[in-house]
């Protein structure tokens, strides 16, 4: 402490600054207070100690981070050795270092005091300049206030002048507007006078129009009353006609339901007859060994015959519906130069059926020839054995004839008719067999062929008792034209002519068709060309063409 006290010089007297609160009062260093000096020295010593402790603590942390608990760290953590003496070289060296540091700090302190003195002088100069600027500002403010007062006076005078000028301009504009309004009002007065004269003329014309409109209204009321009466009468007639049509439609629906019931019964009867025929053929096949080589052919023939009978039954049911209700029997299609797709498919199906039938006929011919060869061989063998075997020969021939007759019956089984038919009914198998046994071998063959032809006709084509079948001579001219068209496939005549439409060149001509007359002619021709009534070979094709024409003229959708 004594060394530090001696080393600190006495502070120079600070230059007082004008305007500072402490200006003119002596500072603490100037007074030479020993207490303040001792306090500063103690604070400096405390700072040095804290600096040494922080350095030691930093070294300890460095040792911990680098070496861990090594002997150096353990040595550093040992209790401190008692302070060395003042004559110790280390202490002297440390004291010299500290004196050098104190000298350096003293130099820095002197530099700081010189800097503070220069800044104090600059501050004094700045304060003097600020006082001068303040005085000048006060003078400028006084001049500004005076100028503002003068300017406000000038602005007030200018505002008054502008107000007077604006008022003058407004008065001039009002005068011009008044003159324009006066001129416009004069023009409008002339226009209004002309319009008044025109309104008077239009009023007179309007009165005339009111009178004429009243008369027209009276005439329109009379016409409306007459139209209302006519509409009421037409509505009553339409209601009555609709009621009649609904009753007729209900009757047609009842007839159609009954027809469908009969068709279902016919299908059931057909299935039962087919089942009985199949059982009979199976029984005969088991009893007659001669037919064993032809079982495959007979099965194919039975399938084709059953398919044909089903198709004929469906066509018969459809034709009966057409005959009774006038409905179309084929799907509607447009008549044009090309044949419809469904008709092409139907033709292809018919061609395939014909081809299958031809193949079956060829097989049947081969089987028949084989049977005849077997019979001839059996006859020759019997003749070679002796003349006493003529009875066995006759029995073999009768058995072969019975086999042929059973084959024909199985191939073309009769279809059950919905009503009792007469004329072309098939004979029972027992009678045919008995007749075949009674005749010789030379006469049995044509007899069996005749019976086969009689059995080949289905029951649906049989005619009612007492009604002669329609021949070509008894068919009317219109039906003959349709048959001629179906048989030749010519384009010179169309079924539309038979229905009362001479030409169907465009779709717009369908609107001119009298549908009631077309329906009457269609029903009449359908009854005449029905396959049950007409025996012409192209009756079915003619019926199809007629149905197509009717579907085009009167579509059902």
What DSSP character marks residue 508? Answer: G
Burial (Cβ within 10 Å: 0-12, 13-18, ≥19) of residue 284: buried
- Find the mean pLDDT for residues 185-191: 91
What integer pLDDT is reported at residue 238 of this predicted model? Answer: 86
Region of 504 (left: φ > 0; alpha: ψ -120 to 50; beta: rest) is beta
- Find the mean pLDDT for residues 329-349: 53
Residue 184 has pLDDT above 70, yes or no: yes
Q: With helix as H, strand as E and coil as C, how does 134-146 read? A: HHHHHHHHHHHHH
Residue 534 β-bridge partners: 470
What integer pLDDT is reported at residue 261 of this predicted model? Answer: 81
Q: Which residue has the higher pLDDT, 450 or 524?
A: 524
What integer pLDDT is reported at residue 281 of this predicted model? Answer: 76
Q: If pLDDT is split at 50, 70 and 90, which confidence band does 84 have?
A: low
- Give me the chain's average pLDDT, please: 68
Residues 479 and 467: their CA atoms lie apart, in Å, by: 19
What is the tens place of the pLDDT at every residue in 193-206? 999 998 999 888 98
Residue 470 β-bridge partners: 534
- Find the mean pLDDT for residues 62-90: 60
Lowest mean pLDDT among 282-286, 296-300, 310-314, 460-464: 460-464
User: Rounded to two decimals, what is the model's pTM?
Assistant: 0.19
Residue 70 has pLDDT above 60, yes or no: no
What is the tens place of the pLDDT at every residue in 473-495? 445 565 666 665 555 544 444 55
What integer pLDDT is reported at residue 253 of this predicted model? Answer: 81
Given a contact cutoff of 8 angstroms between Cβ atoms, the answer to whether 332 and 556 are in contact is: yes
- Find the mean pLDDT for residues 262-290: 77
Q: With helix as H, strand as E and coil as C, how does 31-48 read? A: HCCHHHHHHHHHHHHHHH
Q: If pLDDT is split at 50, 70 and 90, which confidence band does 322 have?
A: very low
- Find the mean pLDDT for residues 258-265: 82
Residue 546 has pLDDT above 50, yes or no: yes
The fraction of the chain above a pLDDT of 70, given in percent, is 55
Tokens of 118: 């220069």
The HSE-up count of residue 7 (CA atoms within 13 Å, CB side) is: 16
Number of H helices, E strands in the chain: 14, 0
What integer pLDDT is reported at residue 57 of this predicted model? Answer: 80
Residue by residue, DSSP assigns 354-403 as HHHHHHHHHHHHHHHHHHHHHHHHHHHHHHHH-GGGHHHHHHHHHHHHHH
Residue 400 has pLDDT above 50, yes or no: yes
What integer pLDDT is reported at residue 187 of this predicted model? Answer: 92
Given a contact cutoff of 8 angstroms between Cβ atoms, the answer to whether 454 and 407 are in contact is: no
Lowest mean pLDDT among 198-202, 505-509, 534-538: 505-509
SS3 content of the chain, % helix, strand, coil (to 5): 80, 0, 20
Q: Residue 203 contacts by C-beta under 8 Å, 6 or more apart in sequence?
A: none
- Find the mean pLDDT for residues 467-478: 47
The dihedral over CA atoms of 160, 165, 168, 170, expressed in degrees to the nearest 10, equals -100
Region of 330 (left: φ > 0; alpha: ψ -120 to 50; beta: rest) is beta
Lowest mean pLDDT among 50-54, 281-285, 328-332: 328-332
Lowest mean pLDDT among 300-309, 356-365, 392-401: 392-401
For residue 426, give the nearest of 444, 452, 447, 449 by alpha carbon: 452
For residue 527, give the nearest of 373, 332, 322, 335 by alpha carbon: 322
Q: Which residue has the higher pLDDT, 471 or 194?
A: 194
Residue 456 has pLDDT above 50, yes or no: no
- Find the mean pLDDT for residues 240-244: 85
Q: b/e for 411-430, b at 16 or more Cβ within 10 A? A: bbbbbbbbeebeebebeebe
Q: If pLDDT is split at 50, 70 and 90, which confidence band does 356 have?
A: confident
Q: Which residue has the higher pLDDT, 387 or 282?
A: 282
Given a contact cutoff of 8 angstroms between Cβ atoms, the answer to whether 306 and 275 are in contact is: no
Q: If pLDDT is split at 50, 70 and 90, which confidence band does 292 have?
A: very low
Q: Residue 194 contacts by C-beta under 8 Å, 6 or more apart in sequence?
A: none
- Find the mean pLDDT for residues 181-196: 91
């Amino acid at each position: 402490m004594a060394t530090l006290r001696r080393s600190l010089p006495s502070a120079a007297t600070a230059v007082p600054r004008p305007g500072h609160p402490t200006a003119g009062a002596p500072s603490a260093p100037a007074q030479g207070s020993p207490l303040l000096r001792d306090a500063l020295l103690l604070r400096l010593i405390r700072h040095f100690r804290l600096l040494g402790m922080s350095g030691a603590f930093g070294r300890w942390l460095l040792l911990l981070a680098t070496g861990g608990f090594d002997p150096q760290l353990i040595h550093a953590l040992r209790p401190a050795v008692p302070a060395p003496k003042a004559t110790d070289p280390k202490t002297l060296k440390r004291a010299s270092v500290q004196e050098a540091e104190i000298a350096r700090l003293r130099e820095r302190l002197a530099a700081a005091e010189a800097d503070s003195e220069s800044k104090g002088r600059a501050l004094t100069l700045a304060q003097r300049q600020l006082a001068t600027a303040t005085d000048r500002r006060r003078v400028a403010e006084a001049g500004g206030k005076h100028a503002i007062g003068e300017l406000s006076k000038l602005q007030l005078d200018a505002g008054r002048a502008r107000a007077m000028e604006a008022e003058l301009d407004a008065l001039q504009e009002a005068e011009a507007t008044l003159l324009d309004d006066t001129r416009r009002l004069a023009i409008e007065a002339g226009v209004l006078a002309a319009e008044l004269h025109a309104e008077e003329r239009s009023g007179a014309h309007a009165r005339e129009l009111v009178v004429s409109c009243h008369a027209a209204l009276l005439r329109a009321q009379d016409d409306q009353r007459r139209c209302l009466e006519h509409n009421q009468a037409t509505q009553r007639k339409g209601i009555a006609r609709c009621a009649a049509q609904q009753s007729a439609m209900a009757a047609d629906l009842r007839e159609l339901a009954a027809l469908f019931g009969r068709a279902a019964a016919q299908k059931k009867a057909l299935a039962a007859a087919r089942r009985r025929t199949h059982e009979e053929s199976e029984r005969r096949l088991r009893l007659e060994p001669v037919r064993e080589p032809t079982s495959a052919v007979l099965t194919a023939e039975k399938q084709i015959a059953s398919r044909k009978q089903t198709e004929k039954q469906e066509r018969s049911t459809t034709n009966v519906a057409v005959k009774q209700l006038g409905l179309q029997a084929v799907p509607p299609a447009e008549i044009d130069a090309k044949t419809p797709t469904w008709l092409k498919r139907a033709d292809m199906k018919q061609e395939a059926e014909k081809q299958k039938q031809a193949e079956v006929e060829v097989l049947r011919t081969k089987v028949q020839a084989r049977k005849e060869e077997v019979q001839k061989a059996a006859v020759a063998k019997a003749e070679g054995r002796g003349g006493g075997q003529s009875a066995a020969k006759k029995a073999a021939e009768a058995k072969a004839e019975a086999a042929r007759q059973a084959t024909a019956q199985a191939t073309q089984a009769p279809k059950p008719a919905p009503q009792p038919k007469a004329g072309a009914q098939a004979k029972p198998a027992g009678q045919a067999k008995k007749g075949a046994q009674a005749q010789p071998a030379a006469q049995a063959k044509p007899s069996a062929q005749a019976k086969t032809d009689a059995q080949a006709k289905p029951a649906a084509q049989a005619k009612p008792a007492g009604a002669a079948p329609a021949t070509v001579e008894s068919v009317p001219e219109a039906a003959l034209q349709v048959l001629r068209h179906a048989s030749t496939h010519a384009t010179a005549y169309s079924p539309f002519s038979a229905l009362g439409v001479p030409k169907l060149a465009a779709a717009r001509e369908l609107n001119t068709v009298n549908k009631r007359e077309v329906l009457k002619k269609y029903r009449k021709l359908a009854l005449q060309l029905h396959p049950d009534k007409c025996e012409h070979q192209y009756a079915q094709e003619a019926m199809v063409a007629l149905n197509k024409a009717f579907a085009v003229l009167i579509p059902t959708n």
